[in-house]
Amino acid sequence: VVVGAGPAGCMAAKKLAEGGAEVLLCEEHRSVGFPVQCTGLLSQRALDECEVSDACIVRPLKRARIYAPSGGCLCIGDERTRAYCVDRRILDGEMARNAVRAGARLLLGAHIRAVRPHYEGVVVEGVYDGKPLSLDARVCIVAEGVGGRITRSLGLGGVKKVLSGVQLEVPYSPPDEEGVELFLGGWAPGLFGWAVPSHGGQARIGLAMEPGLSQTSPHEHLMRMMREHPALKEHLASPHTSLGFVLGGIPMGTPERTSADGVMVVGDAAGHVKPTTGGGVYMGVRCAKMAAEVALMALDDGDTSAGTLAAYDRAWRGEVGKELSVGLRLQEFFSGLSDGQLDEIVAALAKPEVVHVINEHGDMEKPIELARRIASKLGMSMLPILKALLFR
């Protein structure tokens, strides 16, 4: 049984079915991909990992303008496509269809409440069509998203913290129709704000922030950013006309364990989200494939005990563990900086030789590798950053 038909759950179900397992994919909503809780900014690598067509692509994106709190701008990118704005409803729908085509059964409107270890497997309990649902399974992959209720009830621990994300889709004339804009500093304490061009004349404008770092609600922060940010307000046709609203949590930090007897946890529920950007589709899907592979081996061996399934913990920690832990330290470091310190860092990064490194080696899915290259390029001019580190 797979719980949750988001990208991570759909991919786990697809890979299990392709491997010959009998799979039931349970989704609490009556349709897949709704409500949307995402900006839909995905790299080519993420789309490839999702194994989908280009039907979900709204527009290609080539450049980024990163605004320092005081308004200074770091412009990166060129004529190469670096990312896509996608429609998550179409993406998730196609991923669910792919799972079904591979042989998985999809049960919509099935809300799972508990997963309990049972002799040589698990019992998955919930409600379907107003009636109690009880399923015996050899393995359950929990892909329940950021809520993580089942994960915590299994005693696996929770993610370290959850950032608040809020976004509006509004009429907007961007300065660059093929570029995203990011807004650093007090506009969105703890992460950043963004404007991502979507359908013609529209953009997804939002922010993610750490609620504990401000007394003001994320929604009020967003309204203030749209009203007052010098780079944003002049391109907004009408800040009060909203064509779409997104509200959701972004998990950071992984639970202590992501496997137990008969159970593995994937995606947002496992904290598989890049802490430096809040993007979770690529890593969630990548790790879901690892979980499916371990499940298939365990089913083959007839041993789905915690000891065997711990191979999944080891696999994802080996591949993305460092990206996640270093990313979390970076996110915490940047959250502690003042607007003045962020201004200095953006100014240091705007040097042509650094922009060249970013353009040549920038990879949305590997921000830590890029940070390492930038640090070695900056050398002595890292001083403002070091100063910020020492005196924050």
Ligand X SMILES: Cc1cc2nc3c(=O)[nH]c(=O)nc-3n(C[C@H](O)[C@H](O)[C@H](O)COP(=O)(O)OP(=O)(O)OC[C@H]3O[C@@H](n4cnc5c(N)ncnc54)[C@H](O)[C@@H]3O)c2cc1C
Interacting residue ranges for ligand X, rule: CB under 6 A: 3-9, 26-29, 37-42, 111-112, 143-145, 147, 165, 167, 206, 246, 248, 250, 267-268, 273, 278-282, 284
Return the number of the residue (83 or 337) whose C-beta is nearest ligand X: 83
Residues 6+ apart with CB under 8 A from 193: 182, 183, 187, 205, 206, 207, 221, 222, 225, 229
- Taking the complex as a whole, the smallest distance from the CB of residue 245 to ligand X amounts, in Å, to 10
- Taking the complex as a whole, the smallest distance from the CB of residue 155 to ligand X amounts, in Å, to 17
- Taking the complex as a whole, the smallest distance from the CB of residue 356 to ligand X amounts, in Å, to 26
The 10 Å Cβ neighbour count of residue 129 is: 8
Phi, psi of 149 (to 5 degrees): -70, -45
- Taking the complex as a whole, the smallest distance from the CB of residue 348 to ligand X amounts, in Å, to 26
- Taking the complex as a whole, the smallest distance from the CB of residue 380 to ligand X amounts, in Å, to 35
Return the number of the residue (76 or 96) whose C-beta is nearest ligand X: 96
- Closest listed residue to residue 274, CA positions, set 204, 328, 329: 328
- Taking the complex as a whole, the smallest distance from the CB of residue 148 to ligand X amounts, in Å, to 9
Residue with tokens 């930038």: 374
Contact 297, 311 (CB under 8 A): yes
Q: How many helices (H) and strands (E) does the chain have?
A: 12, 19
Return the number of the residue (16 or 38) whose C-beta is nearest ligand X: 38
Return the number of the residue (8 or 357) whose C-beta is nearest ligand X: 8
Return the number of the residue (40 or 190) whose C-beta is nearest ligand X: 40
Return the number of the residue (236 or 283) whose C-beta is nearest ligand X: 283
Distance CA 221, CA 295 (A): 43
Distance CA 185, CA 334 (A): 9
- Taking the complex as a whole, the smallest distance from the CB of residue 312 to ligand X amounts, in Å, to 15
Contact 345, 384 (CB under 8 A): yes
Contact 271, 253 (CB under 8 A): yes
Residue 381, both tokens = 């001019």
Residue 106 β-bridge partners? 25
Return the number of the residue (143 or 342) whose C-beta is nearest ligand X: 143
